[in-house]
Amino acid sequence: MTATDTTVFSYSLVIRDMLLEKLKVAPFFTGFTFRKSRQLPAQINQLPSLGVYIVGEDMESDGDPNHGDIDFLNHLKLGFSVVIVNNDPELCEEAIDKAYWAICNTLWRDPYLMSMIDTRAYPGGVGNPDNTRIEGIEKATRRHVFGTTGTNNETPIGELRYEATLRYRSDFTPIITDDLLMIHVDTAPLDDDGTTDPADEVQRVVAVYEFDPSAEKDAGQ
């Protein structure tokens, strides 16, 4: 997966957005409010809600760091937050457990989002920018949190907090703008002292090689 100008956002943001878009059309989350940021607290009239957030990300060198292009093995931690209103503790826990199961079955079973071959050919959509691929889920945790909210803390709520660490790779190949289009070779014999005689005294062999990238492309097609 190579970084290009296809997207101006990082792959992590692309992954977060494409997972959220998939959950938006899942039957379980019909009628939910969807969020990408925890900066502002959800209001009562916005519940039930589903949020998908970037919690953090660790990056390590993919291979020896001094043996080529800049390549990363990315460990992206995404947080899923589902908040519902229910004054029955048992029914509330059952509801957020169903939300957890709906997230897992909607995302981790998807043959296109989780494809390791080609994620661009998403039916009915544009696919993932730069063929962004998720290699796997390294680990995950979930917690059930219960409390109240509202202006007077009178509304009982339950929240599913599910965090999953996704692994993907990214590489940043050099951007070459000065293509090699010509090579000029001037060959002359060396004297014992490592110098060459003037061109008017010793015959030289001159060769010029010109490259036409468009011709090579046509030949490849």
Q: For residue 62, count other CB atoms closer than 10 A to its CB.
A: 16
Residue ranges of E strands in 70-180: 70-85, 136-149, 155-172
Instruction: Average the pLDDT over 162-190 and give the result.
Output: 85
Q: What is the pLDDT of residues 100-150, one digit of tens each?
A: 999 999 999 988 888 777 776 666 555 666 777 888 999 999 999 988 776
pLDDT at 4: 53
How far is CA 101 from each of CA 83, 106, 211, rounded to the nearest angstrom? Answer: 15, 8, 58
Q: How far apart are CA 28 and CA 97, in angstroms?
A: 12
Residue with tokens 């997972």: 19
Residue appearing with tokens 């957005």: 17
Alpha-carbon distances of 106 from 19, 24, 159, rounded to whole Å: 9, 10, 19
Q: What are phi and psi of 16, to 5 degrees?
A: -55, -45
Cα-based angle 112, 136, 116 (whole degrees, multiple of 5): 40
Q: How confident is the model at residue 214 (pLDDT cuts 50, 70, 90)?
A: confident
Report how far residue 52's alpha carbon sits from residue 163's, in angstroms, rounded to the nearest whole number.
10
pLDDT value for 50? 95
User: Over the stretch 20-62, which tens digit does the pLDDT of each residue have?
Assistant: 999 999 999 999 999 988 766 667 778 899 999 999 999 998 8
- All structural domains of the chain with their residue ranges: 11-172, 182-220
| Spatial separation of the C-alpha atoms in residues 2 and 133, rounded to whole Å | 11
Question: Which option is the CATH number for 11-172: 3.30.2000.10, 3.40.1190.20, 3.40.50.170, 2.60.40.650?
Answer: 3.30.2000.10
**Taking Cα atoms as reference points, which of 196, 3, 18 lies closest to residue 107?**
18
Give the mean pLDDT of the chain: 83
CA distance 112 to 118: 8
